[in-house]
Homo-oligomer: A and B are copies of this chain.
Amino acid sequence: MAEKRIVTYDTTLRDGEQCEGITLSLEDKLAIVRRLDEFGIDIIEGGYPASNPKDLAFFREVDAMDLHHARIAAFGSTCRKEVAAADDEGLADLLASGAPVVTIVGKTWDAQVERALRTTLDENLRMIAESVAYLVAAGREVVFDAEHFFDGYKANASYALACVAAAVKAGAASVDLCETNGGALPFEVEEIVGAVRAAYPAARFGIHCHNDSGCAVANTLAAVRAGATQVQGTVNGIGERVGNADLLTVIADLELKMGCVTVGTDRLTQLTSLSQYVAELCNVSVSSHHPYSGASAFAHKGGLHASAIARFPEAYEHVSPAAVGNGARMLVSELAGKASLLQKALSLGFDLTAAGVDAQAVLDDIKNREARGFTYEVADGSLGLLLMRHVGTYQPAFTLESFRVIVDDREDTGALAKDALSEATVKIHVGEARFVATGESAGPVGALDNALRMAIVESYPQVAAMELTDYKVRLLDESQGTDAITRVTITATDGVDTWGTVGVSENVIEASWNALVDSLEYGLHCARVRAGQ
């Protein structure tokens, strides 16, 4: 197949966040933008500026980031019926967002226009044309999302095409055909996209699919075969109902199987860690059976195959796991191999080779810990301490004698209590000195944090400058209910460096304690390094 450039359009932060149970903080969204940009995504849809203050803040903040490659898109709708584009608040919000790309959704299914929007077919065409033209005149790159296009085309092809024509003539950079209710099958998508291409050979088209028939990825690929040049999707396919097309799977299929160019095969090796990273921030785990990035995606079992695999691996691996940064029979980790470990260690300031450390021993240590629930994807601080232990430079800043946390609550406080109080007492040793300190807070972890800082601040005044900026709790194997292993990840900063740490235990308090201790110890390490000690 001839090499073909396909524009990648990520909507994780907008359509993906529609997914039941997923809420991304502003910090999460900015962190995801950073990783998507590094991965080489072309357009990142950030949200719906009209809808809420968090999205407004997002566009302000993202404007200040210097992205290598990606362009940010703001999402909204065409102007309202019987309102001129220039007077429409929604369009004004989109311009105010400052995003270089503006994506507006509009209806293309006649029945939807008449029954849901309750206006005339002509008025809907006016809304599309005028809105696109208005945004183009304001200097924006406009993507028109043709909502329900495939149902619309089946119901009334000429009207659906008229909507596309209105957007194209008004100057839309791309018309993205949306398979909104997710029910179409690949052969229908290929046929309809082909017909649209034939009608408007000069225009650029994209595709936006949902997975209700279990065919979102295939539908997206079918559209590309029929001439679509822009693919929309979300990381790991998160989205409402059964989700969107998984953009990462689409990208891997396009790059490795259809001779298309998207992020490029070099960046493609980030796929697995990106998938895991976004899942962490969304506080959901990637199914171990997820295509390409799942922990089991290249794992083999079954007497029938085992012997054959040894002699003929390509017979049982559709692509090389390394091509997508995954590994055969390996826990998913950005540290899948020695080379990447050595490189990662260097980036943290540890030259394992020069220190004569056996990289394999470190890898085994990491894999054992990952098997117990640790993850180092977002915990450079804990990884740094682990490396220091192997290099032999680790010195505990203090040792724990004991801690006790007490949470007291009185009377029936109803569904949202305010008067619970937590108290933590820690007893620690710094060298010969013993310190006992008690801290209070609304929550037990805050109380522990306060007590620990109080206990060590005399010995380590630098901790006064350190602050926790993010605290995440994740239950592994949640089906175990309250017995589940708890993973706590903490992000801390001292105003110069920022680092993440991880703690794991059956006990959420203890997992938090372990992450807290790593956080303070790594912070002290960073301070020493900066002081040239």
Contacts and interface: CB of A to CB of B under 8 A. Distances in A.
Contacts of A317: 181
A471 B476 contact: no
Interface stretch (A169-177, A193-201, A510-518): A510-518
Interface in A359-414: 369, 372, 374-375, 377-378, 382, 396, 399-413
Contacts of A215: 215, 217-218, 221, 253
Interface string A180-191: 111111110010
A257 interface: yes
A272 interface: no
Contacts of A225: 187
Contact of A302 (B18, B212, B221, B311): B18
A518 B415 contact: yes
A35 interface: no
Copies in the complex: 2
Given A400-B411, A475-B473, A444 B217 contact: no
Given A112-B308, A479-B285, A316 B27 contact: no
A299 B20 contact: yes
A12 interface: no
A412 B394 CA distance: 15
Given A182-B318, A297-B212, A372 B416 contact: yes
A315 B221 CA distance: 24
A296 B514 contact: no
Contact of A186 (B221, B411, B484): B221
Nearest to A213: B253
A42 interface: no
A222 interface: yes
Contact of A20 (B296, B396, B504): B296
Contacts of A469: 479, 481
A303 interface: yes
Interface string A482-508: 111010001000000000000111111
Nearest to A248: B214
Contacts of A509: 407, 409, 420, 422, 443-444
A442 B514 CA distance: 15
B477 A471 contact: no
B510 A409 contact: yes
Given A116-B308, A315-B151, A415-B518, A476 B287 contact: no
Given A213-B257, A409-B509, 5 more contacts: A21-B375, A240-B300, A240-B301, A402-B411, A444-B507
Interface of A: 18-21, 23, 25-28, 48, 51, 77, 105, 109, 111-112, 115-117, 148, 151, 180-187, 190, 211-215, 217-219, 221-222, 225, 238, 240-243, 246, 249-250, 253, 257-258, 283, 285, 287-292, 294, 296-304, 307-308, 311-312, 315-319, 331, 369, 372, 374-375, 377-378, 382, 396, 399-413, 415-418, 420, 422, 441-446, 449, 467-479, 481-484, 486, 490, 503-510, 512-514, 518
Counting from the closest, the 4 A-B pairs by CB-CB distance are A183-B318, A218-B218, A468-B481, A442-B506
9 contacts: A23-B476, A115-B311, A213-B253, A214-B217, A403-B409, A405-B406, A441-B483, A449-B482, A472-B475
